[in-house]
């Protein structure tokens, strides 16, 4: 009994404790009211899901998909570069070895690391590859990582690394240290570009020309406070091509890209550069598809691409080269568009920026890193000066003679300190015990005249370099400009601009394809593009066709392959919703006339411009004729045998309107012009018809 009572009290205590910890998260149960998931209070499970989802989202954004503005790299790229630096000895290393070394820092599979390394190598700036790294033009994949080798480029080796300026954190398993970001002096994010999809956001950063970025940084460093530099930075793609940036705004917006097409002979075209994001394989596939659809007048396609793009197109007999180029841009991947949205990590938080803002940030970072490097160099020079000056004093003033009679080590230390006291003004910092230890380890050969003179020369060189460093620290902007100019001088020939910026003239696709298709009609009552017979219409595949039957039925449709119309076809033409028509039709022995526009329609749906399938169109003409001439069938007691009506007297109405009553007589002939059946001699005696 006591045991049961204790258990009950424990359960009650746990329930009270849980409620106290959760506060008002859980409302009191109310069995009469249903739970509302949108507005009701939720329990700890929702809190757990929310917390875990936020953790996952932050991980994907910060640790996988989005590059950091500080060094322009995603975590996997940064770890690859750090591994390459650790293994760097100037020689090529197996990519498989680098992948394995990187896995110490990257908690994911080897395939993702190898793919990221190949991508970096193909961007040229940071990694030099040896072996089959695929082909950015054809889309061919790289060989397996065990077959290819890589090493750091000289640019990466000099401009990306500095252990003393790097902030380190523990790797994912705590066994190693990896950099938070690399102390990069280059605007690397804009040089490389980036694509990434994270939770709730994505980034698409276009690559830019290295030399143009450096020149823009010089303009930023030279600008005055009231007149900021105007930067006109445009993307530059390795695949070359042409681009239109009218919809692009400093890293955000849309860019249209076109292949570069050259004329060869009188009936050939050669594609020498492809748009960014396409390959020669996808490009030729799109051309083949357009040829099958008869949109491009190409007879044969020959792809000779190797180190450079060369796709030769032989045109069909009589095809115009300029028109064929326009068709390639209109119907194939010779023209594409890419969207740009510059989102990056700044201080480990995602932000949307412009190219100008990123470059100004990188320029400010360059100044900070250059200043830190100069200060490090200054500290090292001061240490060297201190040590060499101490050696000079120690040797030239024969202070070492003072320790000959010392019996203990403490006496030796004290004697050296005493001997250096008169020369404190020659030093730039106080003497410490480590300095005395260094002096006591000076070898006898350094006391020779040769080594003394060399030591003096070294001190003079140190002082000269120290003065230069202090001068650069005092004029940091000028030093940064000289640094950037040297980079431009070293790499200008290696990284020329590949993509040409130009405005594109809009291609009138409908005009280009105005005679693309032929609508034929055969003797069996069929019309269409796959029908053999008399050509009744030439049109574009983009056109909508209006088909009208002689009972007033009409339909709007794309150009049909084959459509049965029998002998009742009245009209087949390109549809224009605002075009005016005049129609005369008979329904229930009464003839009506109306002027109308078709207006909006649903594709492939049947309508009537008359009163139904029992009606009959007597006349269907474009616009408004000046007059309509009617000849009646003879009838007993009929006085009027022909009449002229003026349709301009009636208003333009909708296609569903009945129209104006014209006559109840049986019509034999009707036309917008008087035919041979019209009796001109009887014209004056016949009154004009009245429209009711």
Return the active site residues. 147
Please answer whether residues 527 and 560 qualify as being in contact, where contact means their C-beta atoms are separated by less than 8 angstroms. Answer: yes
233-267: burial string, b at 16+ Cβ within 10 Å, e else: bbbbbebbbbbbbeebebbbeebbbbbbbeeeeeb
Please answer whether residues 238 and 123 qualify as being in contact, where contact means their C-beta atoms are separated by less than 8 angstroms. Answer: yes
Backbone φ and ψ for 537, nearest 5 degrees, come out as -165, 140
Residue 136 to residue 320: CA distance in whole angstroms: 31
The closest of 587, 608, 596, 597 to 663, measured between CA atoms, is 587
Residue 285 to residue 482: CA distance in whole angstroms: 49
Backbone φ and ψ for 472, nearest 5 degrees, come out as -65, -35
The pairing of strands 652-654 and 590-597 is: parallel
Residue 600 to residue 546: CA distance in whole angstroms: 12
Distance set, CA 332 to CA 28, 162, 299, 322, 627 (Å)? 65, 48, 15, 15, 50
Residue 372 to residue 30: CA distance in whole angstroms: 66
Number of CB atoms found within 10 A of residue 403's CB: 17
The pairing of strands 177-179 and 168-170 is: antiparallel
Q: What is the DSSP letter of 402?
A: G
| Cα 48 versus chain centre, distance | 36
Residue 611 to residue 658: CA distance in whole angstroms: 7
DSSP output for 485-509: HHHHHHHTTTS---SEE-PPPPP-H
Burial of residue 67 (number of CB atoms within 10 Å: 0-12, 13-18, 19+)? buried
Residue 279 to residue 135: CA distance in whole angstroms: 9
Maximum distance among all Cα pairs of the chain, rounded to whole angstroms:
162
Residue 520 to residue 45: CA distance in whole angstroms: 69
The closest of 155, 204, 509, 481 to 340, measured between CA atoms, is 204
Burial of residue 314 (number of CB atoms within 10 Å: 0-12, 13-18, 19+)? middle
Query: What token pair was written down for 685?
Result: 């005696």
The pairing of strands 260-264 and 298-303 is: unpaired
Residue 327 to residue 312: CA distance in whole angstroms: 16
First-to-last C-alpha distance (Å) of the chain: 107
Side-by-side strand order, sheet with 628-632: 642-645, 628-632, 667-671
């Amino acid at each position: 009994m006591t045991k049961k009572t204790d258990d009950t009290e424990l359960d009650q205590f746990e329930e009270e404790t849980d409620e106290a910890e959760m506060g008002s998260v859980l409302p009191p149960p109310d069995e009469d009211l249903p739970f509302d998931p949108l507005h009701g209070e939720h329990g700890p499970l929702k809190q757990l899901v929310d917390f875990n989802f936020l953790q996952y989202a932050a991980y994907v954004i910060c640790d996988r998909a989005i590059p950091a503005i500080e060094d322009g790299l995603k975590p996997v790229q940064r770890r690859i570069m750090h591994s390459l630096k650790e293994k760097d000895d100037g020689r090529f290393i197996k990519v498989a070895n680098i992948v394995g070394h990187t896995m110490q820092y990257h908690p994911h599979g080897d395939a993702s690391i190898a793919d990221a390394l190949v991508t970096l190598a193909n961007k040229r700036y940071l990694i030099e590859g040896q072996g089959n790294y695929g082909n950015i033009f054809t889309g061919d994949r790289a060989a397996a990582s065990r077959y290819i080798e890589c090493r750091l480029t000289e640019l990466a080796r000099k401009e990306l690394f500095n252990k003393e300026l790097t902030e380190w954190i523990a790797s994912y398993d705590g066994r190693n240290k990896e950099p938070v970001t690399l102390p990069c002096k280059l605007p690397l994010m804009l040089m490389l570009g980036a694509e990434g999809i994270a939770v709730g956001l994505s980034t698409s950063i276009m690559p830019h020309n290295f030399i143009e970025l450096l020149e823009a940084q010089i303009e930023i460093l030279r600008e005055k406070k009231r007149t900021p530099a105007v930067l006109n930075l445009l993307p530059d793609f390795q695949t070359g091509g042409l681009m239109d940036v009218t919809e692009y705004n400093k890293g955000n917006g849309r860019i249209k890209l076109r292949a570069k097409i050259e004329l060869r002979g009188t009936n050939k075209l050669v594609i020498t550069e492809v748009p960014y994001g396409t390959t020669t394989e996808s490009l030729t596939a799109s051309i083949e598809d357009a040829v099958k659809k008869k949109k491009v007048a190409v007879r044969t396609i020959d792809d000779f691409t190797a180190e450079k793009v060369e796709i030769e197109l032989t045109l069909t007999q009589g095809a115009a080269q300029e028109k064929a180029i326009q068709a390639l841009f209109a119907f194939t991947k010779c023209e594409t568009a890419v969207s740009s949205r510059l989102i990056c990590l700044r201080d480990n938080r995602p932000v949307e920026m412009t190219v100008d803002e990123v470059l100004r940030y990188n320029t400010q970072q360059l100044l900070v890193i250059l200043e830190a490097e100069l200060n490090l160099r200054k500290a090292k020079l001061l240490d060297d000066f201190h040590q060499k000056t101490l050696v000079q004093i120690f040797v030239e003033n024969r202070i070492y003679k003072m320790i000959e009679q010392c019996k203990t080590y403490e006496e030796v230390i004290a004697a050296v300190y005493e001997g250096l006291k008169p020369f404190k003004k020659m030093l730039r910092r106080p003497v410490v015990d480590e300095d005395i230890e260094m002096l006591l380890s000076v070898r006898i050969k350094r006391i020779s005249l040769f080594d003394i003179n060399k030591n003096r020369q070294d001190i003079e060189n140190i002082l000269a370099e120290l003065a230069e460093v202090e001068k650069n620290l005092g004029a940091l902007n000028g030093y940064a400009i000289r640094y950037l100019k040297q980079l431009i001088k070293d790499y200008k020939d290696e990284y020329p601009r590949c993509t040409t910026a130009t405005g594109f003239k809009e291609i009138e696709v409908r005009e280009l394809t105005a005679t693309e298709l032929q609508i034929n009609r055969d003797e069996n009552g069929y019309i269409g593009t796959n029908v053999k017979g008399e050509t009744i219409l030439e049109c574009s595949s983009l056109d909508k066709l209006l088909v009208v039957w002689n009972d007033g039925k009409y339909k709007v449709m794309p150009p049909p392959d084959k459509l049965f119309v029998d002998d009742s076809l009245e009209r087949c033409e390109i549809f224009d919703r605002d075009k005016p028509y005049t129609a005369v039709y008979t329904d229930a022995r009464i003839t009506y006339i109306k002027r109308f526009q078709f207006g909006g329609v649903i594709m492939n749906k049947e309508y009537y411009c008359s009163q139904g399938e029992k009606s009959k169109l007597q006349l269907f003409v474009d616009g408004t004729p000046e007059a309509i001439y009617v000849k009646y069938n003879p009838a007993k007691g009929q006085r009027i045998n022909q009449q002229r009506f003026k349709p301009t007297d009636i208003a333009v109405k909708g296609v569903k309107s009945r129209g104006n009553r014209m006559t109840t007589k049986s019509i034999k002939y009707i036309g917008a012009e008087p035919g041979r059946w019209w009796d001109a001699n009887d014209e004056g005696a016949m009154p004009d018809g009245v429209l009711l």
